[in-house]
Structure 1
């Protein structure tokens, strides 16, 4: 009897429970660009997806390779394929069945939650715009300086009156505007303040911290990257592959907005407090690309959206996004601030040389599992083994075009 019980318990105990937390990370990496749990995007809404498939193994096969399921003639799969204009689903052969189960568990948990806008917490380290009291301190300092000068003038008059009463001859106090000491002090202060402002102006020439231009379409990063959790790299694909992060092309916007025709999120307002009609902004996108939402097709030639560039660096400055994002493992918020909280994007940092250098002084290099540094280790070892007697510039990439021509 004990042997029989053990034979029953052991197989069931080996079954791995699906992990919703792991599923969320996998969903954001692999699925979120086309799917939402509650909303129809490029692909169908995924809430209840496991219940819609007659066989879980068939669902696994569909995710691994949708074409193989379509070839079997399965009615539900073919109906789904035809519903989305015969657009094949991206295959994910690298996902294991356990990982797919984790994703399905996340979809099940998330699908059971009531719909509504997600409240995004303020990221740690984000600037507090309400605590800059520099102007107040400057005004108070100026008032105190004026009061001090008035008190000094009153003190001189009182000394004169006291001296006259006691019969001690006291010269008349020199008027403020004729007092050479006061005038010299004022000139010195003005010279110092003027010099400071001149230097600051020269140092800050060309910088545009907090620059927030009005864009042709009101695009809210808070809604897209914050509430809807669209990965930054979905739109700015170049950030991990090239020097430039790239402004996304209109077709990337239309991947979602062919299906999302109306805005139903939280109220949008400009920096001046003016309300924004989100649905009207989507209509502007349609007008730019020539899309007719009623007909569901492009009906006229599109034209480029003339976005205003916000983050600008001098021509002599070299900055590579992929080097910082991939090798440096920096998050977007390091340079762009709390981007997931911005309805209208503004320049968070001054992007000065000092700001960059301070970051380089404190950021630790990731030596572990970094193939770049293994090249130098090999060269050092080759010299020790007397395989080579020296290292040329070419050996460390000196003949690569981008070393000089970037």
Structure 2
């Protein structure tokens, strides 16, 4: 009479252990490197300044040795800067650019981030050399093995229980038929189908979520153009080529004429060796000759000798047609730095997509990013918030508070 219940209980327990072994490690593992990449890498590097200061040795500077102060700073920079002169001076040093607040980060997550960025080299190294960050310990594999061992132990205990029940029944003279093979057992078959359905559904959902996301997309362009050489080494301002980023909806790709403003005179590459990500060396002078071919320029005659044609650059960052995005609203009104969305563009040889540009990624930024209200005419209509800031009722206004998470703001 109890056999069907026993089989159902075993099936349920086995399914539960299977799910734990498959997904439990992802919930338990805490990875400082992943947290750093997701929350900090767009503005901070370990050993050099970006939008924010380099983080190597950060716990030895200012008041950050006191973890409570560090937590307060990370979660509410604008509010904490009012009580800590070091923080206020740090904001002034970086031209008033305020760090994004991260109120959702727990103490353990903040500790994991700073453990990652301040970890010394594994081999000891020279303490006077820049720190080389080491990934935080990842115990996912250990948790997976542990879950698997527990599953095996549970199955053994179930089998022992079944044998003991059988011995007891035989002693009491109760005769039970031989159990069905597992491939004929309806409970096992149903459990297998449910597990297959859940696994398939999870994989399909993940694939659907990632449709259209092109993180790390790096197509080969008609001409090898190095942002590291132009924006990094030669310090060419982003707006010289992408003027629309500050004044219009689109950042714009520069025309051939913009390139020729410099390359009429610069016809030979003499900078550092150019190497693609796959190790292939690039002849910079040959790439300049490709530009001349598109422009119709004859460097020997020092004049245009044939009609030019546009360079067919391959677009990297693409948003769905139903999404509205305005560069100037972010860069000019919001003061967002290029690196926030595009990564360390000044260090890229060939450009790739740094952020996933998902709706969740945008929404999280709108929830956490404080708007610069002071002396910003774009936000002059929000009189209530200006008054609340002056009276001290609030210390900052996020994009969310001015409608930055409303559907119609970004969707037609």
Q: Which has the larger radius of gyration?
A: 1
Aligned to 2:307: 301
> 2:354 aligns to what SS in structure 1?
coil
The equivalent of 1:256 in structure 2 is 262
**Partners in 2 of 1:305 and 1:265 — Cα distance?**
23
Q: CA deviation at 1:183?
A: 4.4
Is 1:344 aligned with 2:350?
yes
Identify which of 234, 242, 265 aligns with 2:271. Answer: 265
Indicate if the aligned counterparts of 2:225 and 2:350 stay in contact, CA closer than 8 A.
yes
| Residue number in structure 1 paired with 2:68 | none
Q: In the aligned structure 2, how far is the partner of 1:343 from the partner of 1:171?
A: 72
Q: Report the counterpart of residue 230 of structure 1 in structure 2.
A: 236
Write the distance in 2 (CA, Å) between the matches of 1:194 and 1:133.
Answer: 31
- Please point out which of 372, 391, 398 is paired with 1:366: 372
Q: Which runs of 5+ in 2 are unaligned?
A: 1-116, 118-131, 388-408
Give, in angstroms, the shift of residue 224 of structure 1.
Answer: 1.1
Matches within 5 A, 1:96-107: none
Could you tell me which residue of structure 1 aligns to residue 294 of structure 2? Answer: 288
Following superposition, the deviation at residue 180 of structure 1 comes to 5.3
CA contact (8 A) 2:333 2:378 kept: no
Residue 211 (1) aligns with residue 228 (2): no
1-structure distance, mates of 2:136, 2:288: 36
Is the partner of 1:262 in helix, strand or coil?
Answer: coil
Q: What is the CA-CA distance between 1:178 and the residue it aligns to?
A: 4.9
Cα distance 1:340–1:183, how it changes in 2: closer, same or farther (>3 A)? Answer: farther
Q: Secondary structure at the match of 2:204?
A: helix
| 1:354–1:273 distance in 2 versus 1, CA, 3 Å | same
- Tell me which residue corresponds to 2:112: none
Residue 339 to residue 195, structure 1, CA distance change in 2 (3 Å): same
RMSD value, Cα: 4.2
| Whole-Å separation in 1 of the counterparts to 2:270 and 2:360 | 43
The size of the alignment, in residue pairs, is 253
Q: Which of 260, 278, 282 is equivalent to 1:276?
A: 282
What does residue range 2-151 of structure 1 map to in structure 2 within 5 Å?
Answer: 141=144, 145=148, 148=151
Contact 2:215 2:354 in 1 (8 A): yes
Tell me how far apart the structure 1 counterparts of residues 326 and 228 of structure 2 sit (CA, whole Å). 25
The Cα of 1:270 is off from its aligned counterpart by: 2.4
Q: How does 1:231-246 map to 2 (within 5 A)?
A: 231-246=237-252
Aligned mates of 2:286, 2:307 — CA distance in 1: 20
Distance verdict in 2 for CA 1:292–1:137, change over 3 Å: farther
Consecutive aligned runs of 4 or more in structure 1 exceeding 6 Å deviation: 128-134, 157-161, 167-174
Question: Deviation string for 1:249-285 (max 9, x for gaps)?
Answer: 1111112212222222223222333222222111111
Q: What TM-score do the two structures reach when normalised by structure 2? A: 0.51
* Alpha-carbon distance in structure 1 between the residues aligned to 2:146 and 2:182: 17
Which structure 1 residue ranges, 5 or more long, are not aligned?
A: 1-123, 382-402
Partner of residue 74, structure 2: none
Q: 1:320 to 1:180 in 2, by over 3 A?
A: same
**1:247 matched to which residue of 2?**
253
Whole-Å separation in 1 of the counterparts to 2:133 and 2:287: 28
Change (3 A) 1:255 1:172: farther
Does the Cα contact within 8 Å between 1:157 and 1:173 map onto a contact in 2?
A: no
* TM-score (normalizing by structure 1): 0.52
Partner Cα distance (2:283, 2:222) in 1:
14
**Is the CA contact (8 Å cut-off) linking 1:156 and 1:173 kept in structure 2?**
no
Taking a change above 3 Å as real, the CA distance of residues 322 and 280 of structure 1, as seen in their structure-2 partners, is: same
Residue 180 of structure 2 corresponds to residue 187 of structure 1: no
**2-side partners of 1:320 and 1:133: how far apart?**
40
